Structure 1
């Protein structure tokens, strides 16, 4: 859970607002969630431009305030932008820089990554944006490591998402970090979306991706999820799918955006989170259930990925508000 009770999320609103991206952020952070508890987010909108804020489709937005709200925020969301070649106002860029210096978390959806790049907040970091613009982002900002396949990239203080609907994935990821997997799952169910969507944006790029020959990759991944306590080497995955090791590596990466081992580790951690939140199983039992083997290995791997040791994660997210 965030350090502040009722952390404030400020969504930037600009003339020419991308209403879908704005709606994704507001649906997640701006609606009350009594089923989660009293510590849920507060949400406000901050005007980037003077005058009426006109959104796509002819909508007009009345923001809660101006750029001064960015200084009060715990998290700031930039829901898209006017276009990858459009320069953001310098006052907006400086407000973002100042907020970042003060420890605010900044989240961009789709083309909002270009605003973060203009502000210098992605320098030396990994980032993503809509697949149609990843080449432009990489070419114009060579100091950014652009991840063209990712649905979103979490660099801790700065997060970026791929195009449009991937912003919803990122916003739910923020909920998961702040309030735990159970809360994120609850929000996802209310929105009728997957709490953790498989596959990077590679699956949406305008090129054909060859199917796995002779096997149903989705069925294989489901089988692995249901048997995480077992050892799943790359050789075993390939054997189960009746393809070569090289083929399974390629097809898992095409389907999930991750190498097989990385995907498997993420699934183990996801199940471990749920068991820590919803059961009283010991750390050793969870380590066995999720395939980490020893409690020591589980603690080390979980902490490296989640940022908290299992006991601290359970203390924060088991019961209570979520």
Structure 2
């Protein structure tokens, strides 16, 4: 399928204090790079990324990186794909406004994508009950213990369960993001994006490397 024959999509990414930098930056880089490479007939990017924070204040990611989000939960911007990065999620899990927003926006999104411990935020909405999922290897046992109805997969880079994709930790989010680009817009664009990023892509969850030839 030709990418320019596909409807442009906006990816809405939650950001919060103690978000893991690469959980945020890796998928953002993949989707925004793909958007630079693939354009509509009018020259607009096929992929756009916007960020959403719980409140109108500076977000401090893990390690001290400061991020200013594009929108707040109250502004509730329109987007097509919900992206939930991980990090230290304890405080966010306890924020009913965030969990309620995630639960509602998951229902209105064509696809929901969690990275690393972002799976815990998604699990808190009930969306993963009875579903297949994964998270960072250090946190898989806790995810299975706290939500026993989730079918937690180990030794995988990501799990595609239809309208929900979950990835393992940190760099696995880049692999899964490229997979999502390929799933929606075609594998050629995913390969071009990885090549543009000079990233060695684990193209499937068994770790087989992608062929960058296009």
Length-normalised TM-score, structure 2: 0.85
- Give the aligned partner of residue 124 of structure 1: 130
Higher normalized strand content (fraction of residues): 2
* Structure with the higher helix share, 1 or 2: 1
Query: Which deviates the most, 161-170 or 78-87?
Result: 78-87
Verify the 8 A CA contact 1:88 1:115 in the aligned structure 2.
Answer: no
**What is the aligned-residue RMSD (CA, Å)?**
2.8
Gaps of 5+ in 2: none
Please tell me whether the aligned partners of residues 34 and 190 of structure 2 are also in contact (alpha carbons under 8 angstroms): no
Distance 1:31 1:78 in 2: 19
Larger relative contact order (C-alpha < 8 A, sep ≥ 6)? 2
Distance 2:163 2:4 in 1: 13
Deviation at 1:98, TM superposition (A): 1.2
2-structure distance, mates of 1:83, 1:196: 26
* Residue in 2 that maps onto 1:7: 9
Determine the structure 1 residue equivalent to 2:37: 35
The answer as to whether partners of 2:55 and 2:73 remain within 8 angstroms in 1 is no
Contact 2:79 2:109 in 1 (8 A): no
Instruction: Measure the CA separation in 1 of the matches of 2:131 and 2:17.
Output: 28
Larger radius of gyration: 1
1:51 matched residue in structure 2? 57
The whole-number CA distance in structure 2 between the counterparts of 1:52 and 1:71 is 18
| Structure 2 equivalent of residue 65 of structure 1 | 71
Aligned residues: 207
Given that residues 34 and 189 in structure 2 are in contact (C-alpha distance below 8 angstroms), is that contact kept between their aligned partners in structure 1? no
After TM superposition, the score normalised by the length of structure 1 is 0.58
Quote the residue 1:25 is aligned against: 27
Cα distance change on mapping 1:49 and 1:81 into 2, 3 Å:
farther
Q: Does the aligned pair in 2 maintain the 1:70–1:76 contact within 8 Å?
A: no
The 8 Å contact of residues 81 and 115 in structure 1, kept in 2 or not, is answered as no
Cα–Cα, structure 1 residues 182 and 111, in superposed 2: closer, same or farther, change >3 Å?
Answer: same
Matched, 1:178 2:180: no
Structure 1, gaps ≥5 residues long: 201-255, 258-262, 279-322
